[in-house]
A and B are shown apart, each in its own frame.
Chain A
């Protein structure tokens, strides 16, 4: 597998054409909403790689080995040239939030063919119930299929997000790429670095990603009591205090970022489902912990000895981490890079939700606030 990457930060830069020699090619692009929306931009990219399938999405920041691109005019173009691996690209419209699981299942069904090793999922970041999408996908695929991906971003604006297929810019859709072949290796791990504190509280009333009551009290009141002075700045400060969610005792737990508050209803809206009856705790983190979490993910995502070393690392990291770390965001990317072979190409983006695994034996889930590292390689 040969990987080439072009990081473009202005419109005037020229796109290099790439000479392909392998059996299968794929172009993955991550770009700002502005860049992707620019007239003719996608056609220009497509024209540079005639006949090669293109997938991608809008982001809250593009990741490469040089760190995160902050420009709203940026796009990274990564080309994969594979000798023996086959790919299949499926896309689907998400008819409604509630139908997200069905959408996931139909994608999974369509992709399920012999020797499916890895599925990369890029989804609209706002018009989907990510947790259900992943649940649907998982239901249609064997446990052994590695899945990872991210929900498209829109800087930190939460306005509109897109996925890309060919030269089409799609809203409210999911595009998934299946990689087939015995010589293809994939390994995914998510890490956060967030630490929970305080007492366990129980979610007594919630619907999907909206929490109404915690321990029988208005959820916003409970949260405000926790946050003290910082409550005045909700929901902005909510980003700094995500929620640790454990659905059952002894669960590894998921992290959910607070997105919005409804002061009238006293409810909190999170970037993923918070099931009624689950136990929740507040979390905190600092740069050091977040970087350590990213490092731990990278360390575990490294392909095992005996298989071809990682050639492409896809990094899906949460926009929340980027907002917290600010100008130090590159630290976590550098930390990830130290665990990967020097020649590994790093590509990825800051997401509105990561699809990955918390532990080896775990399920693929929708995460918030993680760095999700995907190692890919192809045997010669």
Chain B
């Protein structure tokens, strides 16, 4: 049974597939089933069968149609093959005919027909004669023919040769990457190549046979005529070269005379496109800019993850760690910072090379700058037990204008090196006035160490990039060897000079000068007024280090204090006794903690135990690394404790509060400086606004986490998105109070996003939401770009928590009091 029928029966009889499968046309069961058939069922079955027939017919038709199409296509293919075959046969026939025609013209090639055999001898003779004559004739003809052939062949070869030569020349000219025009003695153009036509827009056939005059738009007729005139009359003429602009191209026209046996035989005009050359200079300039931009971008790309590493490690170090974990994490941070330094050096150098290093012109306090450097380097000096002394001569004005960041960079580099290469003794930064003018000063900076020194033959190359004293230095001390080269460039940009003096085994002195502008006078007066509270007070300094004493002396004298000093406990006690004996006891004794024989603590105890010295207050100077309990010092009777290197303002404030407290016992005794340092103090007082909701826009997931962690630590609620588009979307649904915006992001960068936020056409809920850029761009102008795009402020990466916090607080709209 056909499957189709089986299916129809199955449906028709309502059978299961298994039952239907067993159906048989001869089956008794089928006969039994058929008894149940009603007329309606029968009609249904017939309909189904009808559909089958129709479908089968349609499908057959379509199969036929498919076959027809295939057949028609293969017939067409066949036809086209057959017709091309036919054409091929015709061609062959024609060729054969040609061969036949050729041979009939050369009878010797074809045998003559057989003659009748009558009158044999006569005929034979006649035939022989005929044949002989014929042979001669044939021979002659053949000879002629061969000569002709030979001659023809030779002529042909000659023609071919000359044609080949001409073709070779013409193709050579055609293929030349410059314009070529030949003109004969009558200035008629006889050859011109495609290149020339392309350049000038002429057609070849329009130029051939014309007078050179048709090229007046290209050539400068007067100059050309003059040149050709000269060529005609002077066989020794040199080629004439003209440079000019043709449309957008810069070309050189070269007129070369052709001489044959001393006579002028025409002119060759070469046209060379030098546009590229002319533009090369322009491009080189652009390439330099691009290179610098590339480097800035590159450094952004490297800095971003690096900042992430450093920042995350910093956060990690704030958590509870085992000793080992802490060591490892600190190594990660140090390595990261080292790498960042390296990167900055390379970027600086490349910017210097690209002439893209711009100096800023900012108001700054030279003393603060020096103190910042000292603070940064003090740890390192302390680790090696070195004395680090900052000595700013009072004659140097401190309120100046210039680039404090770059100045700091130079001093950091020189002083950092000094610490690196000094094993014992001291590093001193001394600043003196070199020259003074009305609105500017030349300041001399000296960094002196008591280190290993530099051999004389090495001094010369020190300021070259990638040079250190020797290769082993790099291995032992690290660094890129770029610092001095960069410093020299920076010094030059500050209008100064840099130099070095050194004695092996004794120490090294690096010095440089910088021209800095004075700030307007008004500001100077305020500072001076502030520091007059302790004039006339009697202060004793006990310190074994001479440089340190020198510094303190300079400071005390500048405040017009009465001052004495001693290099140890004996001298110190002696001075105190003399003071008491003279009825003028010292107000304050400043004691250095680390002194030989008797240290500051012991000396302090001795002084306090002697009632004679009860009027003298004690101030302790400790090294930065000193970790003893302050409470002990307090117990021993010290009024204050300051860490070295001493900041001018700190010392001043401490002295004032000690003296004031002594005279007004009601006032709290402990001055503000009674802690070694209070870096974390401010943080505890900070209270983030709980209402300020911040949106962080940052594509780098590590940096994103870093910012979020900082914000959480400050107590802010914050959400993060990964690009400008998501930021705009988020601001369209949530009324955030503040946005922290990364600048370089895929899909939509920070500038564009900010423009959209500010645009009243966007769906953002609050177009005035404060936007703070987080910029890692090292190039000047990026910050301006941020502000120009509508951002309110910016913080630089790597993010410094305090700065971030302060900047947010400045713009937090929930903190701003409503009128």
Interface positions of A (Cβ within 8 A of B):
65-67, 197-199, 226, 228, 230, 240, 282, 284, 286-287, 291, 325-328, 330-331, 334, 337, 342
> Once bound together, how far apart are the Cα atoms of A334 and B48, in whole Å?
18
Q: Are A328 and B66 in contact (CB under 8 A)?
A: no
Q: Are A334 and B7 in contact (CB under 8 A)?
A: yes
Q: Are A240 and B62 in contact (CB under 8 A)?
A: yes
Interface positions of B (Cβ within 8 A of A):
3-4, 7-8, 11, 16-18, 48, 51-52, 55-56, 59-60, 62-63, 65-67, 69-70, 73, 77
> Once bound together, how far apart are the Cα atoms of A102 and B63, in whole Å?
41
Contact partners of A199 in chain B: CB under 8 A: 73, 77
Q: Select which of B11, B17, B52, B70 is within 8 A of A197 by beta carbon.
A: B70
Q: Are B59 and A328 in contact (CB under 8 A)?
A: no
The 3 A-B residue pairs with the shortest CB-CB distance in the complex, in nearest-first order: A286-B59, A284-B66, A197-B66
Contact partners of A282 in chain B: CB under 8 A: 66, 69
> Once bound together, how far apart are the Cα atoms of A226 and B11, in whole Å?
37
Q: A66-B16, A286-B62, A291-B3 are in contact. List 6 more A-B contacts (CB 8 A).
A: A197-B70, A198-B70, A287-B4, A326-B55, A328-B7, A334-B17
Q: Select which of A66, A286, A330 is within 8 A of B60 by beta carbon.
A: A286
Smallest CB separation, B35 vs chain A (Å): 25
Q: Are A284 and B62 in contact (CB under 8 A)?
A: yes
Residue of B nearest to A338 (CB): B21
22 A–B contacts from the bound complex (CB under 8 Å) = A66-B17, A67-B17, A197-B67, A197-B69, A198-B66, A230-B65, A284-B62, A284-B63, A284-B66, A286-B59, A286-B62, A286-B63, A287-B4, A287-B56, A287-B59, A291-B3, A325-B55, A327-B52, A328-B7, A331-B3, A334-B7, A342-B18
> Once bound together, how far apart are the Cα atoms of A342 and B59, in whole Å?
32
> Once bound together, how far apart are the Cα atoms of A57 and B7, in whole Å?
28
Residue of A nearest to B48 (CB): A327
Smallest CB separation, A217 vs chain B (Å): 15
Contact partners of B69 in chain A: CB under 8 A: 197-198, 226, 282
Q: Are B65 and A198 in contact (CB under 8 A)?
A: no
Residue in B18, B51, B63, B77 whose Cβ sees the most chain A Cβ within 10 Å: B63
Given contacts A230-B65, A287-B55, contact A330 B7 (CB under 8 A): yes
Residue in B51, B59, B60, B73 whose Cβ sees the most chain A Cβ within 10 Å: B59
Q: Are A328 and B70 in contact (CB under 8 A)?
A: no
Q: Which applies to chain A's interface (DSSP): helix, strand, loop or mixed?
A: helix
Given contacts A199-B73, A286-B60, A337-B17, contact A328 B4 (CB under 8 A): yes
Residue of A nearest to B67 (CB): A197
Residue of A nearest to B51 (CB): A327
Residue of A nearest to B18 (CB): A342
> Once bound together, how far apart are the Cα atoms of A286 and B60, in whole Å?
8
Contact partners of A226 in chain B: CB under 8 A: 69
> Once bound together, how far apart are the Cα atoms of A331 and B5, in whole Å?
10
Smallest CB separation, A239 vs chain B (Å): 11
> Once bound together, how far apart are the Cα atoms of A330 and B73, in whole Å?
36
Residue in B11, B52, B66 whose Cβ sees the most chain A Cβ within 10 Å: B66
Q: Are B52 and A328 in contact (CB under 8 A)?
A: yes
Smallest CB separation, A279 vs chain B (Å): 15
Given contacts A199-B73, A284-B66, A328-B55, contact A65 B17 (CB under 8 A): yes
> Once bound together, how far apart are the Cα atoms of A197 and B48, in whole Å?
30
Smallest CB separation, B261 vs chain A (Å): 61
Smallest CB separation, B50 vs chain A (Å): 10
> Once bound together, how far apart are the Cα atoms of A282 and B69, in whole Å?
10
Residue of A nearest to B69 (CB): A198
Q: Select which of B16, B51, B63, B66 is within 8 A of A326 by beta carbon.
A: B51
Smallest CB separation, A202 vs chain B (Å): 15
> Once bound together, how far apart are the Cα atoms of A199 and B66, in whole Å?
11
> Once bound together, how far apart are the Cα atoms of A328 and B62, in whole Å?
18
Contact partners of B65 in chain A: CB under 8 A: 228, 230, 284
> Once bound together, how far apart are the Cα atoms of A10 and B451, in whole Å?
100
Q: Select which of A198, A284, A331, A337 is within 8 A of B73 by beta carbon.
A: A198
> Once bound together, how far apart are the Cα atoms of A197 and B62, in whole Å?
12
Contact partners of A327 in chain B: CB under 8 A: 8, 48, 51-52
Smallest CB separation, A254 vs chain B (Å): 19
Contact partners of B7 in chain A: CB under 8 A: 328, 330-331, 334
> Once bound together, how far apart are the Cα atoms of A45 and B769, in whole Å?
50
Contact partners of B52 in chain A: CB under 8 A: 327-328
Residue in B48, B62, B67, B77 whose Cβ sees the most chain A Cβ within 10 Å: B62
Contact partners of B56 in chain A: CB under 8 A: 286-287
> Once bound together, how far apart are the Cα atoms of A327 and B11, in whole Å?
10
Contact partners of B55 in chain A: CB under 8 A: 287, 325-326, 328
Smallest CB separation, A344 vs chain B (Å): 12
Smallest CB separation, A237 vs chain B (Å): 9
Contact partners of B48 in chain A: CB under 8 A: 327
> Once bound together, how far apart are the Cα atoms of A334 and B15, in whole Å?
13
Smallest CB separation, B68 vs chain A (Å): 8
Smallest CB separation, B143 vs chain A (Å): 61
Contact partners of B17 in chain A: CB under 8 A: 65-67, 334, 337
Smallest CB separation, A301 vs chain B (Å): 19
Contact partners of B59 in chain A: CB under 8 A: 286-287
> Once bound together, how far apart are the Cα atoms of A287 and B67, in whole Å?
17
Residue of B nearest to A228 (CB): B65
Contact partners of B67 in chain A: CB under 8 A: 197
> Once bound together, how far apart are the Cα atoms of A67 and B8, in whole Å?
12
Smallest CB separation, A159 vs chain B (Å): 26
Smallest CB separation, B56 vs chain A (Å): 8
> Once bound together, how far apart are the Cα atoms of A198 and B77, in whole Å?
11
Smallest CB separation, A196 vs chain B (Å): 9
Contact partners of A65 in chain B: CB under 8 A: 17
Contact partners of A342 in chain B: CB under 8 A: 18
Smallest CB separation, B64 vs chain A (Å): 10
> Once bound together, how far apart are the Cα atoms of A330 and B7, in whole Å?
7
> Once bound together, how far apart are the Cα atoms of A342 and B17, in whole Å?
11
Residue in A67, A230, A334 whose Cβ sees the most chain B Cβ within 10 Å: A334
Q: Are B63 and A331 in contact (CB under 8 A)?
A: no
Residue of B nearest to A230 (CB): B65
> Once bound together, how far apart are the Cα atoms of A282 and B16, in whole Å?
38
> Once bound together, how far apart are the Cα atoms of A214 and B231, in whole Å?
63
Smallest CB separation, A62 vs chain B (Å): 16
> Once bound together, how far apart are the Cα atoms of A47 and B3, in whole Å?
41
Contact partners of A240 in chain B: CB under 8 A: 62
Smallest CB separation, B294 vs chain A (Å): 31
> Once bound together, how far apart are the Cα atoms of A240 and B62, in whole Å?
9
Smallest CB separation, B11 vs chain A (Å): 8
Residue of B nearest to A334 (CB): B17
Contact partners of B51 in chain A: CB under 8 A: 326-327
> Once bound together, how far apart are the Cα atoms of A43 and B60, in whole Å?
48
Smallest CB separation, A3 vs chain B (Å): 17
Contact partners of A230 in chain B: CB under 8 A: 65
Contact partners of A287 in chain B: CB under 8 A: 4, 55-56, 59
Residue in B7, B18, B73 whose Cβ sees the most chain A Cβ within 10 Å: B7
Contact partners of A198 in chain B: CB under 8 A: 66, 69-70, 73
> Once bound together, how far apart are the Cα atoms of A327 and B8, in whole Å?
9
Smallest CB separation, A116 vs chain B (Å): 26
Contact partners of A291 in chain B: CB under 8 A: 3
Smallest CB separation, A379 vs chain B (Å): 27
Smallest CB separation, B45 vs chain A (Å): 11
Smallest CB separation, B54 vs chain A (Å): 9
Residue in B16, B55, B60, B67 whose Cβ sees the most chain A Cβ within 10 Å: B55
Smallest CB separation, A15 vs chain B (Å): 22
> Once bound together, how far apart are the Cα atoms of A284 and B60, in whole Å?
10
Smallest CB separation, B422 vs chain A (Å): 58
> Once bound together, how far apart are the Cα atoms of A266 and B52, in whole Å?
35
Residue of A nearest to B47 (CB): A327
Residue of B nearest to A329 (CB): B7
Smallest CB separation, B265 vs chain A (Å): 54
> Once bound together, how far apart are the Cα atoms of A170 and B63, in whole Å?
41
> Once bound together, how far apart are the Cα atoms of A247 and B16, in whole Å?
44
> Once bound together, how far apart are the Cα atoms of A34 and B16, in whole Å?
27
Contact partners of B66 in chain A: CB under 8 A: 197-198, 282, 284
